[in-house]
Structures are given as C-alpha cells and as structure tokens.
Structure 1
C-alpha cells in the first residue's frame, strides 16, 4: 500500500457536477483539493455528462430564463411529483439558493442557450447548458485545474476509515496499486448504487435485472455501502429512484439522455398484451416523465410500447433510434411482437372515446380528453387514425437511486446524534435527503450545485 504525501486538505470523491462544485468552492477558499474520479478521463463527470438543464428559481429574467419562477411555485411543483415526501427545509434551501447558482455557474465557465421547444419548452423554469452536460463538466474541470485542483482518474475509492467521529484515511486503487490519503476533510459526491444490478435486484426483486441504466456504469455505490456499513446515517428507500421510460433499444449502461422518449403525451402506451395501463396525458412532460419508469417496471417483462400516428411524429424530441413504422396497425403490431387483434381493439376503443380535438395544444394542459375510458387520457387525446403508424418500445431506465447519506443544511453527515466532523456529501449520493420519491426535471442538478457548493465551503472551513 502506498501512502500519498500529506499535501491535500480535502479529498473529493467523485467527478461529476456536485464534486466539481465542491472542489472549485474549496479551492477558491484556499484549500488544496484532490478529486478522486473512478472513471477514465474520457468518461469523467458521472451522470452529469448526460444532463442538459438546471431548474432555477428567479424573481425576474435571469440569464436565459424569462419572466419569474417563485419559491412557492417551485416548491409546489416539487410537492406534486414527490407526493409530499420531501424534507421541506432542505428542499427550500435548494430552491432559494438556486437563484444565486446560475450567475455563479456562468462565472465558472458554464454557458447557456435558449430552451428547446415541444415537450422541453421550459424557458421560464429551466436553464439549458450550451453543449449539454458534457459542456458543463468540461468547463468546470478547466476552472478546477486553473485553481490548482489535482484530479486522479481511474482512482476507485474502496474504503473510508471512520475512526470515532471523523474520517481518518481514504483508501483507493490507482495505476494497479492500493493507495491511501489522509485529508483533513472529505466530500463524498460519488452518486448512487444504480450500476450495481445485484443491489438493484435485492431492492426491487428479479425484475430489476431487466432495467437499463441511463448513466455511468461507475456509480456502483461502493463508498455509499462502505459508509452505511460503518453506521453513517442513511436516508431514503432503496426502491425509490429517478426512473424514466427510455427506448427499449438503449444499451445496458450509459445510453444517456438521447435514449429518453418524450412522445408519451401524444401517444397511447400499451403493455405486451396491447392493453393501456395509465393516463398518458396526466400532466406536462417535465413534471410527469419520471413516473413512467416505475409504471413500465410494473408491466409484464418490464416493457411497454408507444403507439402514435403521423400527425404526432414531429411534436417531440426523437430518440437516437428511429421509430418502427408501418402502413397499418396490424402490420405495426406484427413488427412490435404485439397481438394485432388486441392492439386494434385498444386503439378503436381509445379513438371512440376521444372528443373534439380542436383545442389541442402540445405544450400546455389543453383539456382535450377521453370520455368513458379507463384509464382516461386527460389531455392531448386525439384519435390515432393517420397513417403511417409508429411505435417505440419502452423499458425502465434508472438514472440514480435515492438511498443515500442523510445530511443537514450544511451538507454534513452524521452517526446517530453526532456529526462526522470532517465528512460532507453532495449530489446524488445525498439527494434522498430531499427526494423521497418522484422527480422534477432539472432538480438533480439543483441539488448537486447547491449542496456541492455548501459542502466545499464547509470542508474548506474545517480544513483551514
């Protein structure tokens, strides 16, 4: 085992948005910072590589954001998707602080662009990164390195030695050797456990082996498990996660945001028996897209199928994979492996329940609904009649898990009623402190940015 010279004040574990915000903030406070990133350099950045926007409170126009988005409206949106399962104090802290984050992000190299149209028309609530998450990650790495932050890639942390109420030593593997470092402060920002499919299966049951992992294959929960085993306080339900319905042709790992399907509001969704199972038009997509992963997970073989017609094809951002196309519904059913008679019956029943489509409006709740249909479709309900017909297969795509490290408003971790004096957490590894269930588009980046900055500030203050 090789001991690294005792030259670092802070070790930041992880290399995504939260880790970088912590490292930059600590370095600006005068701390000597080491980032330990498990991934190779081309894959640095964790799930942040795949993000595209940041949800931000603002009292007036701010950067690319128009009009205003108040704390109360933001919190109300969060309550809708979480069903009230949130820590209100920490949630409001994240929301309030987000307004200060956007100019901070710009000052540290992040560039923004106008919001996209269609189902991602979020010009008032979400700021979109120019170059996406990869652009943000690269900007932060340039800033961190200019501040003297040292980065070790392919540095997999295996153990944090918890001695009484502090982390005494960090053990990791790098360049084929086991090494140790003894920083004054430690920030854990290494994500959830979603890439460990065995752990997912223990939580969810065998169905989890059919899930796809949207993000990095390196978030396996090694550090999270190590700390929980040593008694660091946990938060969250292991079955709760940010799970969305993605293209069933996506790879097992790292397919990213381009595999997401935004077409559900303009479709009907059926299972392998060609039966609908939920209201596709319940709410605008940024507020409801994250429920569909769990809905699909509950279906036979954890698979669903989107059915649309020609008039809906251009209303949403397409997946990286083209849809399956057919001139008739029976032909489409054959191509998708669905029972043709059952699919035709489901579509006929849906079409008969649709009313006047003249009020159809694709970017807002339009009240164009079905009548006498179970489950209903409460918005955007137009008959599926115009050939050619199209379909996408859907599978559950897990972004990150909510079982994590419980933190306080200073991002500090605890053992029982005592703080761990030199341990802070930020990002997905502590997001369960705020997200009990559900998800709101762009809120993960809010949590990571807010608590990354808090963790960096507190860790530097302790080290100094």
Structure 2
C-alpha cells in the first residue's frame, strides 16, 4: 500500500515514457519514488503507448540500426524541421545522449526489432521497439515495481504548490478522493494540453471540433497551466502542435499510430474543393509527416483527401481503415464527396506537369512537376493506373508545444531566470525547449528518455543533499 503521509524523496507527475525514465533512474540512485498516473492502469503510459521508435545517434551499424547517424547530420535534420527554433545546447546534449541510452533501456526490459516494410526509410536513424510503445511502457512499469517505485493510478495532480520557486506540496485527487502529497523534489512529466479542447479553442476557435486527438485524453494541461500561473517561465508557441494527417474516420481520442496515414508523399492531397494546397513531395516523410496535420487544420472544414493509383498503393503503411477504392477518378470523387469534374481537372493538370525521372521510394528522387503551383518536388508520378484509391484526412493532434523552460539539469526555470529549488521536468511538458516547431520521427521519445534520465538523476541527487 502507498503511504501518502510520508515525504518521498522524489515525486514524479505523469505515467508515460519520460515519467517512467525519471522514476526508475531516481530509484536506481537510491531515492524513494512515488509516480502518479492520471489514467487507470489499463490506459497507463500517456502518448508513449502509441509510439514505436526513438531516434538514436550511432557511429556504426547496430543490431537494429544500419550504417551510421552522426551528431552533425542529426543536428542538421533538427535544424531543417525546426527552422532554427531550438536551443542548440539542449538539443546537442540530447542528440549525444541518445547514443548511450539503449543499454539502459534494454536493462529495463525494452526490446528492439529491425525496421518493418513501410518504415525502411528509418532503418538508419530510428530504433524500433519490439511490441511497440505499449510493450516499452509495460517493461518500464515492471522494472519500476520490481525495484520499489510506488505507483498510483487514477490519480490526477490538480496543483503543485510553489513558494518562491520551491514545491511545498502536490494537491491530488486519488480515485475520487482529495489528498496532499509531499516530496523533497518533483519531476513534472505530465505532457501538454492537447486533450483540453477548451484551451486549444482559445487559439484555433471552432476548428478544434474537427481535430482528432490521436493520443491520450488525459493530457489536459492542468499541471502545465498551474505552473505557468505561478511564475514558471514558458517556452514554445501555444498555437503550435505536433499534428499528422490522420484518417478522418478515426475516433476523437486515443486512436494511436494505427490511424495515421503515410500515403501523402506518393499521392496528391486535395481539400474539400478538390484543389491541391501544398507540395506533397517536399522532403522525406519522417521529416515532414508532422506538418500535415497543421496544413489540413488550415483548410476549409479541416479536411483533405489523399488520392493515388494502383502504382502507389503498396508503397505506404495502410490505415486501420480500408482505402476508398474506385475504377475511375469520377467514381472515386463521388465516394469521397468531392466534385468529380474538379478532381478530374486537378489530376489532369498534375499529370500534365509530371516530368520524366527515376522513381525511388526510399530517398529524394528526381521525379517532379514543372509549371505547377504548388509543385510536387519528389515522387511525382502520373495518377493514371486504375484502380484509384482515396483516404479522407483530418488533423491528428499528438502534443502541444507550449511548455516550461528548463536548463541542462532539467531544472525548471522561473520567469526571472532562477532555477526552481526542487522542480524538474521531462517529456512533452518541456519538449518546446528543443522542438520549437516541426518534428523529426521518434525525436519526442528521445527527448523524453534523455531528459527523464537527467531529471531522475538530478532530483535524486538533490533529495540526498
């Protein structure tokens, strides 16, 4: 039984990858640790349940990674997706640390596998979890419980009482009953506010009614808002979020990775008026998939449609929902609810602009359009081989970028620049320090793992002192 009358060395708020890495690391360092997970046990793990890999620097081939992926290339990839909106010191520290965490993860029971068909473009950069994020989370929980981390499920942290940068207590509701918890140090790993539609509505208006929250519904941003209201320094743009193109038939919450659609680079994408609105072949998919949710969010009624033909259909991971299939473009348009004449004209203009090239589905190729606005700069092939396929797309929100500012010790900073005396952060609640915008596939898990480890180490060290 968990004794809430005791003062723990370290209190971890959250139940996903970052929280678990912090909790296990602090416990391994000799600290007494209590982890509070808002979700019930069956839904523990936050967004981490839906992940499948993390991005890892490595100097040569490993059991599951091919070739090498060195710091400068990793950093350049991050610069490209963020447009420079990142803290270079924290980012490079994270990149370097990613090369060292795999043995620790394996010691915690995490297992890896080679990249699967449909994800081969990531075989050099990303290590895939055997069994996906759910298996990773289960392994960490098993380790945490084995080494003596206390865990409470169905427990929401309503407030962290700050006094001049020092957390005095946590006000919680545990299985419906209010309680107060005290600890020498606190690690906030409670995620963003994407599950709080009213908060998102402040920035996006009624468009949020058409958003799909692909991750946990328990990420309400309660702790984040509480900390910002008490003078913690904010980081990140509140209007920015990690958002992918999701199958529009997905559930409103918690559909996970199976509802994501990867057809965009090998198709054209049109809005509800049947018109293209962005370059589908701008870059390799792992560096661009996270911009498409935001692009679709800016379209009328927040919906779009991916259209391809038989040549492209086998090149991407399918959705959990079947594609909408037709023998003619006119019939496909009708089934998608689009104007047939407009879609046929859009495809005809696109086909006419496609230039000869050598198609390569695993890297940037020379298949492009000429004289078309917007262009398609890679993987442009005529859509002319029936049957034709279509998918309806909605913005699938994964996490928001507004968070708390931290330093290299994962210590939370107050608005005057002073580090908090005993408050640390890891995961999505601080990812905006490194991911100001854009996304690299698997990098959120890297940030959570690295900063979870740092936060756990530093909190345990501070508690001992």
**What TM-score results when the alignment is normalised by the length of structure 2?**
0.98
Equivalent residue, structure 2, for 1:134? 134
Equivalent residue, structure 1, for 2:360? 361
In the TM superposition, what whole-angstrom CA distance separates every residue of 1:55-77 from its partner, at most 9, and x where no partner exists? 00011223311221010000000
Give the secondary-structure state (helix, strand or coil) at the position aligned to 1:121. Answer: helix
Give the 5 Å matches for 1:269-280: 269-280=269-280
In the TM superposition, what whole-angstrom CA distance separates every residue of 1:194-215 from its partner, at most 9, and x where no partner exists? 0001111102222122111010
Give the secondary-structure state (helix, strand or coil) at the position aligned to 2:178. Answer: strand
Question: Which residues of structure 2 form unaligned runs of 5+?
Answer: none
Per-residue deviation, 1:294:
1.1
For the residues of structure 2 that align with 1:324 and 1:90, how far apart are their CA atoms? 44
Counterpart check, 1:382 vs 2:348: no
For the residues of structure 2 that align with 1:99 and 1:378, how far apart are their CA atoms? 33
Equivalent residue, structure 2, for 1:55? 55
Deviation above 4 Å: which 4+ runs of structure 1?
A: none
Mapped contact 1:119–1:362 kept (Cα < 8 A): no
Equivalent residue, structure 1, for 2:114? 114
Equivalent residue, structure 1, for 2:399? 400
Equivalent residue, structure 2, for 1:83? 83
Mapped contact 1:27–1:148 kept (Cα < 8 A): yes
Mapped contact 1:27–1:149 kept (Cα < 8 A): yes
Mapped contact 2:247–2:391 kept (Cα < 8 A): yes
Give the secondary-structure state (helix, strand or coil) at the position aligned to 2:311. Answer: helix
For the residues of structure 2 that align with 1:108 and 1:64, how far apart are their CA atoms? 18
Give the 5 Å matches for 1:135-214: 135-214=135-214
**Residues 24 and 90 (structure 1), Cα distance of their counterparts in 2 relative to 1, 3 Å cut:** same
Give the 5 Å matches for 1:251-262: 251-262=251-262
In the TM superposition, what whole-angstrom CA distance separates every residue of 1:173-221 from its partner, at most 9, and x where no partner exists? 1122100111001000000000001111102222122111010000000
Equivalent residue, structure 1, for 2:319? 319
Mapped contact 2:121–2:363 kept (Cα < 8 A): no
For the residues of structure 2 that align with 1:120 and 1:43, how far apart are their CA atoms? 30
Equivalent residue, structure 1, for 2:350? 350
Give the secondary-structure state (helix, strand or coil) at the position aligned to 1:118. Answer: coil
Task: Give the alignment's Cα RMSD to 1 decimal.
Answer: 1.2
Mapped contact 2:411–2:424 kept (Cα < 8 A): yes
For the residues of structure 2 that align with 1:176 and 1:372, how far apart are their CA atoms? 62
For the residues of structure 1 that align with 2:343 and 2:304, how far apart are their CA atoms? 13
**What TM-score results when the alignment is normalised by the length of structure 1?**
0.98
Q: How many residues align?
A: 462
Give the secondary-structure state (helix, strand or coil) at the position aligned to 1:100. Answer: coil
Give the secondary-structure state (helix, strand or coil) at the position aligned to 2:68. Answer: coil
For the residues of structure 1 that align with 2:4 and 2:164, how far apart are their CA atoms? 23
Give the secondary-structure state (helix, strand or coil) at the position aligned to 1:398. Answer: strand
Mapped contact 2:309–2:386 kept (Cα < 8 A): yes
Per-residue deviation, 1:122:
1.2
